[in-house]
Amino acid sequence: MAKPEDAISDELRDFIQAQRMFFVATAPLAATGHVNLSPKGHDCFRVLSPKRVAYLDLTGSGNETSAHLMENGRITFMFCAFEGRPRILRLYGTGFAVLAGSAEWEPLAAHFDRYRGTRQIVVADITRVMTSCGYAVPRYDFVEQRETLLDWTDAKLKDAGAGNGLEAYWRRKNLRSIDGLPTPLAETMGKGGSEL
């Protein structure tokens, strides 16, 4: 059953690297705010040290995670074994988003393969590591990563001159959370941006 760990061990790092998907959860401080839970695919998660992790955040329809991190820093990651023996791993901590052009960007980006449409890198300092059984998690066979987001990004990058490019999309969809909280992109791209 549930078992706390002091940090991310080598064995837990290997478990993380074997997973093809993970989940990230954040929430605003307001009781009426929306909790966000996002699945993430592709090879975009890295264990930087026993108590620090990061993931390459690709463009999405919203930018809730970075807005919540900017407001209060709280973040939880969850990994589930859908193949092999059952296990769930949760990493609790505080995090922040790093944008391209900042001093931290290049050292962090060196840990990742570059994906088209990368929006930011989310970094988290882990304060609690917890494993649990995962006995009720069903088995699934992995087929492949979807290329849909990367294809969509390619189309946006080609359409940049028509005002429909990736940065225009970020301005429309990624500057504020659904609760109206600003994201780090809002600070660099302007105060505008619509909600989802």
pLDDT 10s digits, 38-93: 999 999 999 999 999 999 999 988 999 999 999 999 999 999 999 999 999 999 99
Q: How many CB atoms lie within 10 A of CB 93?
A: 19
The predicted pLDDT at position 132 comes to 96
**The pLDDT of residue 163 is above 80:** no
- Positive or negative torsion for Cα 177, 46, 141, 147: positive
Give percent of the chain with pLDDT exceeding 70.
95
The pLDDT mean for the chain works out to 92
CA atoms within 13 A on the CB side of 113: 4
The residue that leads in pLDDT, 180 or 60, is 180
Q: Are 181 and 187 in contact (CB under 8 A)?
A: no
H helical segments located in the chain: 10-18, 64-71, 105-109, 148-158, 166-173, 184-189
Average pLDDT rounded to a whole number, residues 90-109: 97
Please give the helix or strand (H or E) that residue 48 lies within, else none. Answer: strand 45-49
Residue 159 confidence class, pLDDT cut points 50, 70, 90: confident
Q: Looking at domain 3-144, does it have CATH number 3.40.50.10490?
A: no
Q: Which residues pair with 78 in a beta bridge?
A: 23, 90
The predicted pLDDT at position 48 comes to 98
pTM for the predicted model, two decimal places: 0.91
* Beta strands 88-98; 36-40: pairing state: unpaired
**The pLDDT of residue 171 is above 80:** yes
Q: What crossing angle do the helices spanning 148-158 and 166-173 adopt, rounded to 10°?
A: 110
Q: How distant, in Å, are the alpha carbons of 50, 65, 90, 114, 154 from that of 126? A: 8, 16, 10, 24, 34
Q: Are 149 and 117 in contact (CB under 8 A)?
A: yes
**The pLDDT of residue 190 is above 80:** no
